[in-house]
Amino acid sequence: MAVSACFARTLRALSVTLRVSPQVARQLNAGSSYRSGRLPCLTPSACVHTGIIHCTNTPNITVTDEPDALYQTVDVLVKGHDRAVLDSYEFFATLAAQELGIPVRKVSEPKKKIERMTLLKSVHIFKKHRVQYEMRTHYRCIQLAHVTGSTAQAYLEYVQRNLPEGVAMEVTKTELVKIPEHILKPMWDIPPLEEQPSQ
Amino acid sequence: MAASTASTAVSSLCRKSHNLKGFQILNQVCTRMTYSTALSVKTGHSKKGFELGIRGPPSRRPKREGGEPRTEKMAEDQDWSSVYPTAAPFKYSAVPLPVRMGYPVKRGVPPDKRGNLELIKIPNFLHLTPAAIKKHCEALKTFCTDWPQALDSDDKCEEFFPIRVQSSDYVSAGTSLRNPKARVVTLTVKLSSLNLDEHARKKLIKLVGERYSKETDMLTLTTDRCPLRKQNYDYAMYLLTVLYHESWKTEVWENEKTRADMEEYSWEESRSQRNALDTLMRMRGGEGGGVDTGVVRADLLGSAEVQQYRDSVSRIKNEGESESSMLQYRDAVKKLLNLSPCDE
């Protein structure tokens, strides 16, 4: 209950910072009683609430006439230094997708990348003595198919809010768009021209 | 003497208790003082050293004993999401699992969870148990919409929504939230789904150049010249509109199209046709002369061997050389020149 209120309060504000698709079919207006000065500041890093929210009325969901966006695929690629953390995160993301009714097409693990560097061990001279470091980046790709815009917005915000520390995410969305009306027919009056033979 | 030291020790204890936050501690100290003054003096002194007496460092607070850990009082069917409602560091006294983590030094065992920094460092998912995830998703379901039933297959999606627009979002920790790669928009569309005639199609392919892929019949427009994603999307749609309408136009200079500009090879009026017909005419001319050359040419063009030869040459030029196309050409040439087929 507290979680839903937290979402309700900051969903619209975060949609700008998280760069989610602007076509929102469902906007929500939290009750005006929540807009007090005691609310945490609206940046994603500071949004872990510590207080108890006393909410009695549920947020109002408005449905607009704007058509919902349709995404053929939503690819969520997570990158991290620890494979165990990514395993747990994958379990969380797939379970969340199943609960929300989003079909998970594929969960793959692209090959890890190791960046190695060889540096001088000492601040001054001693060229023969070096030290080697490496940075390992593990990947996990979760592909969701046939997601609507508002579902994608809710799911992605939920999943991004619970991203553990030290893990980065890239989301690639493939949206389905109709051919706009001005491309259906040419705007010039084309006289019926016969096919010219190759000359 | 003992009483006086006891009283001063107790008073010093009292002064310290004001600094301590928490009413309970003050109560505890007072109760201790009420019931057994002698005991409290002993505990007070044992920490500092009896010989120092009250002249020990005043900043040292008496060490409180911790109570029993919360794990002892937990029921097995408790609501775990109230213990860890949000992401929080690992608290050994609040997690009732016998977790061990760390390197086993000297062939021992991994260290216990009490005071284990490794368990605190690694991100934990204790706030995201399946029960908690289900609760969250129940609350989120009100914001979700269903996928339309009619679009259950990819073909139907392709039929009604031929244009695909790809864009990316990036989430990472850093000094800035923004990622400059987030403004890139890629628009892909199959040309067969646009309303184009032959001339318009060829002109569009010439206009876009490398952005068209012949194998998949896909036009790909990638825009990143504007600072915002919405602007790049609008620009991509504008580009598509302009390309479409421009390709339907026929300019005056387009009728100067030469053979080198053609997209496909056509056999009519080509050198191959001329050579083939000349060869055949000379072969025929030896047999009977005085016939009108135009009629002869028309006859030759209509004959089946010449048609086959035309198909094989066009295939090689358009599709490239391959095993089957070369064999077809060989057969056509043999038939054309009346060479006997050798059985191998």
Identify whether residues A24 and A80 lie together within a single domain: no
Residue A82 lies in a domain: yes
Tokens 């919360």: give the residue: B70
Q: Report the alpha-carbon distance of residue A76 to residue A145 in Å, rounded.
A: 11
Q: By the CB < 8 Å criterion, does A41 face chain B?
A: no
Domain assignment present for residue A187? The answer is: no
Residues A15 and A84 in one domain: no
Are residue A90 and residue A167 in the same domain, yes or no?
yes
Is B145's CB within 8 Å of A11's CB? Answer: no
Taking contacts as CB-CB distances below 8 angstroms, the residues of chain A near B202 are: none
The answer to whether residue A33 is domain-embedded is: yes
Statement to judge: residues A80 and A152 lie in one domain: yes
Residues B156-175 have pLDDT tens digits of: 999 999 999 999 999 999 89
Residue A25 in contact with partner chain B when CB distance is under 8 A? yes
Mean of the per-residue pLDDT values for chain A? 77
Of A4, A18, A165, the CB nearest to B139: A4
Q: Is residue A124 part of a domain?
A: yes
Nearest residue on chain B to A61, judged by CA atoms? Answer: B143
The domain that holds A160 is classified in CATH as: 3.30.70.600
Residue A41 placed within a domain: yes
| A47 close contact with B: CB closer than 8 A | no
Can you give the pLDDT at residue A187? 80
Q: Nearest CB to B248: which of A18, A22, A190?
A: A190
CB of B229 closer than 8 Å to CB of B181: no
Residues A75 and A173 in one domain: yes
Do A120 and A170 fall within a single domain? yes
Residue A58 domain flag: no
CA atoms of A160 and A89, how far apart (whole Å): 11
CA-to-CA distance for A133 and A61, rounded, in angstroms? 52
B261 contacts on A by Cβ (under 8 Å): none
Helix A2-17 × helix B130-140 angle, to 10°? 70
B152-181 residues touching A, CB cutoff 8 A:
154, 157, 160-173, 177
Of A44-53, B54-63, B255-264, the least confident:
A44-53
**Residue type at B14?**
C
Query: What does chain A come to in residues?
Result: 199
Asked if residue A91 and residue A165 are part of one domain, the reply reads: yes
Residue B327 at interface with chain A, using a CB cutoff of 8 Å: no
Domain of residue A130, residue span: 70-177
A161 and chain B in contact, CB less than 8 A: no
pLDDT tens profile A33-45: 334 334 444 444 4
Tell me whether residues A173 and B166 touch, CB distance under 8 A: yes
| Low pLDDT (below 70) residues in chain A | 1-60, 189-199
What percent of chain A is modeled with pLDDT above 70?
64
Looking from the CA of B24 toward its CB, the CA atoms found within 13 Å total 1
Same domain, A42 and A7: yes
Name beta bridge partners: B185: B167, B223
Query: Is residue A59, in this structure, part of any structural domain at all?
Result: no
Residue B157 is nearest to which of A19, A72, A180, comparing CB atoms?
A72
SS3 assignment for chain B:
CHHHHHHHHHHHHHHHHHHCCCHHHHHHHHHHHHHCHHHHHHHHHHHHCCCCHHHCCCCCCCCCCCCCCHHHHCCCCCCHHHCCCCCCCCCCCCCCCCCCCCCCHHHCCCCCCCCCHHHHHCCCCCCCCHHHHHHHHHHHHHHCCCCCCCCCCHHHHHHHCCEEEEEEEEECCCCCCCCHHHHCEEEEEEHHHCCCCHHHHHHHHHHHHHHEECCCCEEEEEECCCCCHHHHHHHHHHHHHHHHHHHHCCCHHHHHCCHHHCCCCCCCCCHHHHHHHHHHHHHHHCCCCCCCHHHHHHHHHHCHHHHHHHHHHHHHHHHCCCHHHHHHHHHHHHHHCCCCCCCC
Angle between helices B304-319 and B271-285 (to 10 degrees): 150
Q: Which of A99, A166, A182 sits opposite B137 (nearest CB)?
A: A99
Residues A90 and A44 in one domain: no
Report the number of distinct structural domains present in chain A: 2
The answer to whether the CB atoms of A175 and B167 lie below 8 A apart is yes
pLDDT tens digits, residue range A4-15? 444 444 444 444
A105/A44 same-domain check = no
- Give Cα separations from B33 to B41, B66, B90 (angstroms): 9, 19, 37
* Neighboring chain B residues of A152 at a CB cutoff of 8 Å: none
Q: Is any Cβ of chain A less than 8 angstroms from the Cβ of B239?
A: no
Contact criterion met (CB < 8 Å) for A150 and B145: yes
Residues A170 and A95 reside in one and the same domain = yes
Is the Cβ of A11 closer than 8 Å to some Cβ of chain B? yes
Q: Using a CB–CB cutoff of 8 Å, tell me whether A83 touches chain B.
A: no
Residue B69: pLDDT band with limits 50, 70, 90? confident
Q: Which residue has the tokens 């839903």?
A: A4
Comparing alpha-carbon positions, the chain B residue that sits nearest to A44 is B177
A120 shares a domain with A41: no
The mean pLDDT value of chain B amounts to 82
Cβ–Cβ contact A76 with B under 8 A: no
Closest Cα partner for B306 from B266, B341, B284, B337? B337
What is the pLDDT at residue A35? 40
Contact A183 B240 (CB under 8 A): yes
Specify if A163 maps to a domain. Answer: yes
